[in-house]
Amino acid sequence: MTFEKESLILATPERVFAFHELPDALKRLTPPWENVRIVKQVENLQVGSTAVIETRVFGLLPVRWVARHTQYEPPRMFEDVQVEGPFRSWRHCHIIEPHAEGSILRDRIEYEPPFSLFGKLAAPILVVPRLRRMFEYRHAVTREWCENSDRGGGE
């Protein structure tokens, strides 16, 4: 299954990429309504760096999510894959493309939900709306940081 979210950010690809390289980017990108605890923040986005978070499936079942970066091509893209977690598979590609007005930020997620056939049938009701809401938030946070001229080169 695939989920995509795309936004225009009025900033250079270098600036959008720089936001994602902030030491606390994962924390900034985590919506306040998500029941998530960051156990290990990534040191950087380079291949092999790993993040560990704890979350809950359906708000009940505790789950440890380990994501490892597998591609790193600044300022164009980086990718992480789930090594351990709630999905059968999860590949998240963060793509940043130049645009006449700044950059296009595209998050593309290829995933296989848990619980086999039930997971595939439930994904449009349980997974997709949650991803949509989460990535609306993430893109808004990214846009605000990148377009805020008071930050100069970043904070």
What residue numbers bound the domain in which 92 lies? 2-150
In the prediction, which pLDDT does 154 show?
Answer: 46
Name the helix (H) or strand (E) containing 88: none
Question: Is residue 155 domain-resident?
Answer: no
Q: Is 84 exposed, middle or buried (0-12, 13-18, 19+ CB in 10 A)?
A: exposed
3-state SS assignment for residue 80: strand
Q: The tokens 């790193």 sit on which residue? A: 72
In the prediction, which pLDDT does 153 show?
Answer: 47
> What parts of the chain have a pLDDT lower than 50?
152-154
Q: Of 3, 5, 2, nearest to 96 (Cα)?
A: 5
Question: Is residue 79 domain-resident?
Answer: yes
Name the helix (H) or strand (E) containing 131: helix 128-147
In the prediction, which pLDDT does 39 show?
Answer: 95
In the prediction, which pLDDT does 149 show?
Answer: 61
How far is 145 from 19, CA to CA, in rounded Å?
A: 7
Question: Is residue 9 domain-resident?
Answer: yes
In the prediction, which pLDDT does 136 show?
Answer: 98
In the prediction, which pLDDT does 58 show?
Answer: 66
- Helix, strand, coil in percent for the chain, rounding step 5: 30, 40, 30
Tally of domains within the chain:
1
Tell me, what CATH number does 87's domain have? Answer: 3.30.530.20
The tally of CA atoms less than 13 A away on the side-chain side of residue 93 is 14
In the prediction, which pLDDT does 151 show?
Answer: 53
Question: Is residue 104 domain-resident?
Answer: yes
